Structure 1
Amino acid sequence: MEEKIFITLGSQKFQFNRLLIAVDKLCEKKIICGEDVFAQIGYSDYVPQNYRYNNFLDREEFSMEMGKADIVITHGGTGAIIGAVKKEKKVIAVPRLAKYGEHVDDHQLQLIKQFDDLNLICPCRDTDELAEAIETVKHTRYAAYESNTTTIVDSIEKYIEELV
């Protein structure tokens, strides 16, 4: 059985054509099955040839597509990564890079490294390594995401109690 793949590129006004093209090439080479891929392509202007896509999804559609997926391929944005690992998806994170006009700087490299250091995701620093990353996530167990919201709320409550 083929793994279902959901690609999310976020909603910022930057293209990420490089990633979409890499996925198209993997579909052409039959490394992945285009029927098992759906992408939310955001502001990218590359039109996928071998898999389904939509520019933007509403919250419900987004949740439904991610829910069907075994693997989520995303840019290196914190929200996209956390959203996927919270749903216990295997995540491949590919950084947007300034030199390709995909972002204003290369901060996503550092974000991806931090998530990788926590063993939450599979980093894919170059789209040429995407096939290898897909194979890696199929056979790797990642750590469960643990929110630290409760810790923050508890510390704020404790601070307020100390003031009173």
Structure 2
Amino acid sequence: MLAAVGTDRHPFGRLVDWLAQWHAVTGTLVELTLQHGHTDALAVPGAVPFLGHGALQEAMSNAHLVVCHGGPATILEARRHGHLPIVVPRDPAYGEHVDDHQQLFARRLGTAGMVMLCETREALYDALDAGLKDPSRYAVAANPEAYRAQAAAVARVGAIVEELVARSASRRSRRRTWLRLRRGAEENR
């Protein structure tokens, strides 16, 4: 099994802890590779901070199950390798990301049946247990044409998110500048 939290600088301790607890119970039944990024994962066997692109592709190709964060590229890669990814989106309320775009994106894909969305520990454990019993439950047929269409859609969503984040940062910057100018004008009165 491969679990990938991505490379975002925000820790994703919630998912890492859930996986560590689940793996402690399943023990030797599951060989786990956990790409944990900037999250501490000392207690988890098979934990590695980062995997290069090639190593991540190989791990996805060899995995029976893929668990990942709600990053569009990771989800798309998992599907390209024939997996219906089990997705736990990062939640900004826990300091796991700057906004809720992963939640919104993962929920939309969950509704469309393109991911197995798990927003609670119980949902994740149920999905993992079901996947252990029948790994084919989380398999999808590789379809190069569909992959190209999905890649284009993911790229578009990524561009929209980047544009919205940039606009939001620009608005905050303009507001800070306006406030500084206003304070300066008030001080000069």
TM-score (normalizing by structure 2) = 0.68
Match of 2:9 among 13, 19, 43: 13
What is the one-letter code of the residue matched to 1:42?
Answer: G
Tell me the CA shift for residue 72 of structure 1.
0.6
- Number of aligned positions between the proteins: 146
What is the one-letter code of the residue matched to 2:81?
Answer: K
Larger strand proportion of the pair: 1
Runs of 4+, deviation exceeding 2 Å: 32-35, 135-145, 149-152
Q: Is the 8 A contact 1:98 1:106 kept in 2?
A: yes
Tell me the CA shift for residue 57 of structure 1.
1.2
Distance 2:29 2:37 in 1: 19
Distance 1:42 1:105 in 2: 18
Q: Is the 8 A contact 2:85 2:115 kept in 1?
A: yes
1:142-162 C-alpha deviation (Å, 9 max, x unpaired):
65562327999xxxxxxxxxx
TM-score (normalizing by structure 1) = 0.78
Tell me the CA shift for residue 127 of structure 1.
2.6
Q: Secondary structure at the match of 2:137?
A: coil
Match of 2:113 among 116, 119, 122: 119
Determine the structure 1 residue equivalent to 2:31.
36
In the alignment, structure 2 segments of 5+ residues that lack a partner are 154-189
Larger helix proportion of the pair: 2
Q: Following superposition of structure 1 onto structure 2, how do residues 40-79 of structure 1 map, counting pairs within 5 Å?
A: 40-44=35-39, 46-79=40-73
Q: Which has the higher contact order (CA 8 A, sep 6+)?
A: 1
The 1:122–1:136 alpha-carbon spacing in structure 2 relative to 1, beyond 3 Å, is: farther
Identity across matched positions, percent: 23
The 1:11–1:151 alpha-carbon spacing in structure 2 relative to 1, beyond 3 Å, is: closer
Distance 1:14 1:100 in 2: 10
Superposition CA RMSD, Å: 2.5
The 1:80–1:39 alpha-carbon spacing in structure 2 relative to 1, beyond 3 Å, is: same
